A and B are shown apart, each in its own frame.
Chain A
Amino acid sequence: MINQSLKNLSQLLASKTVSSVEMTQTFLDRIRQYNPDINAYITVDEDKSLAQAKAADASIAAGTATALTGIPLAQKDIFCANGWKTTCGSKMLANFIAPYDAHVITQFNNVGAVNLGKTNMDEFAMGSSNETSYFGGVKNPWDLTRVPGGSSGGSAAAVAARLCAAATGTDTGGSIRQPASLCGFTGLKPTYGLVSRYGMIAFASSLDQAGPMAKSAEDCALMMNVMAGFDARDSTSLNHPKEDYTAQLNQPLAGLKVGLPKEYFAEGLDGDVAKVIEAAIAEYKKLGAEFVDISLPNANLSIPVYYVLAPAEASSNLSRYDGVRYGHRAAEYDDLMEMYMKSRAEGFGEEVKRRILIGTYVLSAGYYDAYYLKAQKIRHLIAEDFKAAFKQCDIIMGPTVPSTAFKTGEKTGDPIAMYLQDIYTIATNLAGLPGMSVPAGFSHDLPVGLQIIGNYFDEARMLNVAHAYQQVTDWHTAMPKGIA
């Protein structure tokens, strides 16, 4: 059961072969068994999950079930869920029980999906290895000495180790796609504004976007049907007509024009990873896709631009964690200033502090024009690069990450090396474009992801492109050894 598609799980529930309570219990049992080693979940509340499962069974019995009713899902701990501890991976919010539901949570509650628990993540989504979490690192189920990627590392490990049927993640610079690549599953970051950010704890507001993390493109499509949609509570939510993301899954790929950015195959890309991507390209050629070489000339500026803009927004977004109303407050202080300083010094980890400092610096009087404004201009140029590229092709492909999962601790002393994990993913966030990572093979027994980038609102087409590939390959069904 644990390796079944969402469609099959739904059929098992509909045919009453299995109840949602049984299915939920199966995953809860697995979490009990594997989570102590993997540390994918920060919070599990069996009673809450089983109560939802029971309600789902009633709905199934009453004939009011829909595609995801009764399906046990993992929620990244960045989404506020009413009555659930919502930590965002930080000591600052270690005691914070959300009194309201994020839009994404509401959407899943409305269809009767079961919340299995809140997954581990880099603190405030700042990291590419899940090592910045206050609740400890997450292990990559393919090799427990390695990281799962980040920041959605807990959701990634939960999907890879089959500790949930599917999961949610968020992606600010690659936080869905990079862990999907490192843990060997399918992850989609939608067009900016397609999924409401209401109740999703902000890291960098103009870049943050929630999306599905699941075993296959088809599963991601079913998740997208629930997650996407206009929400008046998020002013950046786009009033895009509701789509059925499964509708185009089986369209043939003949004539599909795929662009290969030369910058994504240049120096820095691991040779074995390159070979996996080349094999995937060969497979797509067999499916009828045509390939053209394209260029994204400003792509090399993505990381510097990102590390100006994202910290700038974060430095302001994280100001509300001041120890006054909720969250961590220092035990002892003599005055207000000391309360602020101690609470924030104690409540935030090193990486978060680094980014608050960077962000505060680039917004400071005298530096704003040179950093923030300049970065905004380059951000615009990067979006223009993609606009020009999509005149030559329908879809862009390349590696998701330059290499495979690295060892725990390997890059913690070198922030720049860590930041380079997102070199191929960040540009799409800056442009607001949708991006995916699809399992495409292995290098030394570690998963490699193929990145698929589409034009704005082309999620259905991207899912079709990924699905067609998953019909002729079985990389996405592979499971880590020792997890059965």
Chain B
Amino acid sequence: MEWEVVIGLETHTQLKTKTKIFSGASTAYGAEPNTQACEVSIALPGVLPVLNKEAVQCAIKFGLAIDAEIAPRSVFARKNYFYPDLPKGYQISQFELPVVGKGKVTIQVPAVGKSEAYEKVINITRAHLEEDAGKSVHDLKSDSAVEGMSGIDLNRAGTPLLEIVTEPDMRSAAEAVAYAKKLHELVQWIGICDGNMQEGSFRCDVNVSVRPKGTIELGTRREIKNLNSFKFMQQAIAYETQWQIDTLEDGGKIQQATVLFNPDTGETRTMRSKEEANDYRYFPDPDLLPLEITEADKAAVRAEMSELPEAMKARFESEYALSAYDASTLTSSKEVADYFERVIHGGGDAKLAANWVMGGISAKLNAEDKSIVDSPINAIALAQLIKRIVDGTISNNAAKQVFEAMWLGESDVDAIIDAKGLKQVSDTGAIEAMIDEVLSANQAMIEEFKAGKEKAFNALVGQIMKASKGKANPAQVNIILKEKLSK
């Protein structure tokens, strides 16, 4: 039987606010344990939550970015359960009435093997605001008094999260990863999340089920918790999908469960079954008023937002005559898009700018695991290099040498060209002289060309370029050579 996998994602994005969602404590990462835990964070008797407006603005930004319904009135609810790093014994979240409703994210699924790249729209069910829990730290080592014990660090308790939930719209691990990457780019693009997956700023729970291909009814799902890298997500979904198919083909049944992925073994294992799940006893938090968002609130946030990736992609296609693929690649992050546009504003040709950003720059950055903001070649310098290609000062090959020098820290394009003697010879007289010299020494090739062998032409060009030590302007060489041979 042929199987189909059905995937939905729940993503916890940590919002980039200065303070916690319901108190004034700092959200900075990496502080000494419990130094960013105020009376609200540790849930002393009598403390009360006050909603951070910055977190609400982040939610509105996201809603606008995915063209979603933003609820004029949403409600905070208490999710009740006991855990040592959950200080109140409940998490303030949103349940029945979330701040962001239905929206859409368009993903680009890359080509794999024989299947071509394609676009797909993933429907967002909802996104809601909630607070993070603290952290349990097991097997303490540093301090002899607490060695081997578990510690509670409440620095993270109360950090704002936006939980973004999709419809079960994805049909492969590749689609799920493409969605996660797209969302990861988007939340950074609109500036609501730093996207740091190692620090847990962007965590995905993946719901996976399988069904016989062609059927409509969803299979029983298992939820893979807390995936914090795209590679693990790919592996976890692949393993889980195969495990479910094997289980069903062996006559077994899938039980609803929460599972964890072990990167060391590449396997998923059950953490708790549905029977062990909590009854969270959600009810509206009486300490907080319903969150009301007006049209004016939305307009104010919209006015502060820069161009969204989808709009920028469309503009790149029309304004710079780029292909859909190039436009999509260049808008994969705000930093890349900004860099690309600065190259153009610096006078660089659009097509060449696109090629250099996606080619040379991207390859170097990947090799050195750098981000474009750390590129040793700034956009203006790259524009200068492109100008020298366009105006014929240097050849493409020479440009590569200049680029290497620039990458290593030299900055003045013209100085590099001079120092390396890379200037093209575009003086017609000098080129003609070189061509005549080569032609007189290669009579046989001329005959071949005249007999219809096109290859001979390229061989002659090669000889001429060699004679010029690569400095002759190839376009001019082509034109003059053609003239001379046609005589």
Q: How far is the CA of A315 from the CA of B39 in the complex (A)?
A: 21
Please tell me which stretch of A152-160, A233-241, A261-269 contacts chain B, meaning at least 4 of its Cβ atoms lie within 8 angstroms of it.
Answer: A233-241
How far is it, in angstroms, between the C-alpha of A360 and the C-alpha of B48 when the chains are bound? 21
Q: Is A199 an interface residue (CB 8 A)?
A: yes
Given A206, A315, A336, which contacts B286 in the complex, CB threshold below 8 Å? A206
Interface residue count for B (Cβ, 8 Å)?
Answer: 28
Q: For residue B51, which residues in chain A have a CB less than 8 angstroms away from its CB?
A: 235
Q: Which chain A residues in 181-203 approach chain B with CB under 8 Å?
A: 197-202
The answer to whether A316 and B281 have CB atoms under 8 Å apart is yes
CB contacts (< 8 Å) of B459 on chain A: these are none
Write the nearest CB–CB distance from A101 to chain B, whole angstroms: 10
A392 close to B (CB within 8 Å)? no
User: Contact string, A92-106, partner B, CB cutoff 8 A, digits 1/0?
Assistant: 010010111010000
**A309-361 with Cβ < 8 A to chain B:** 312-313, 315-316, 318-320, 322, 324-326, 336, 340, 360
Q: Binary interface profile of B, 260-292, with partner A (CB < 8 Å = 1, else 0)? A: 000000000000000000010111001111000
Are the C-beta atoms of B48 and A364 separated by less than 8 Å?
no
Within 8 A of A (CB), among B46-79: 46-51, 78
A284 within 8 A of B: no
Q: Is the CB of A320 within 8 A of B283?
A: no
- Residue-wise interface mask of A (193-220) relative to B, using a CB-CB cutoff of 8 A (1 in contact, 0 not): 0000111111011100000000000000
Contacts of A197 in B (CB 8 A): 46, 48
Q: Which residues from A are CB-within-8-Å of B220?
A: none
A88 within 8 A of B: yes
Name the residue on A nearest B81 (C-beta): A319
A385 to B305, CA, bound (A): 48
Check A325–B42 contact: CB distance below 8 A: yes
A454 to chain B, nearest CB (A): 23
B149 to chain A, nearest CB (A): 12
Tell whether A363 is near chain B: CB-to-CB under 8 Å: yes
Q: A368 within 8 Å of B by Cβ?
A: yes
B48 neighbours in A (Cβ, 8 Å): 197-198, 233-235
* A100–B50 CB distance below 8 A: no
Asked if A100 contacts B44 (CB within 8 A), the reply is: yes
- Chain B residues closer than 8 Å to A198, beta-carbon distance: 46-48
Which of A205, A320, A365 is close to B45, meaning CB atoms less than 8 Å apart?
A320
Q: Known contacts A322-B82, A324-B84; is A316 also within 8 Å of B50 by CB?
A: no
Q: Name B302-342 residues within 8 Å CB distance of A.
A: none
Residues of chain A with a CB closer than 8 A to B90's CB: 316, 319
Residue of B39, B46, B89, B283 near A322 (CB, 8 A) is B89
Q: Are A316 and B80 in contact (CB under 8 A)?
A: yes
| Chain A residues packing against B (C-beta within 8 Å) | 79-80, 86, 88, 93, 96, 98-100, 102, 197-202, 204-206, 232-236, 312-313, 315-316, 318-320, 322, 324-326, 336, 340, 360, 363-365, 368, 372
16 A-B residue pairs with Cβ-Cβ distance under 8 Å, sorted by A, are A80-B45, A86-B45, A100-B39, A100-B44, A102-B46, A197-B46, A198-B47, A205-B286, A233-B50, A236-B289, A316-B281, A318-B89, A319-B89, A320-B43, A324-B84, A324-B152
Q: Which 4 A-B pairs have the closest CB atoms?
A: A319-B89, A363-B281, A206-B286, A205-B286
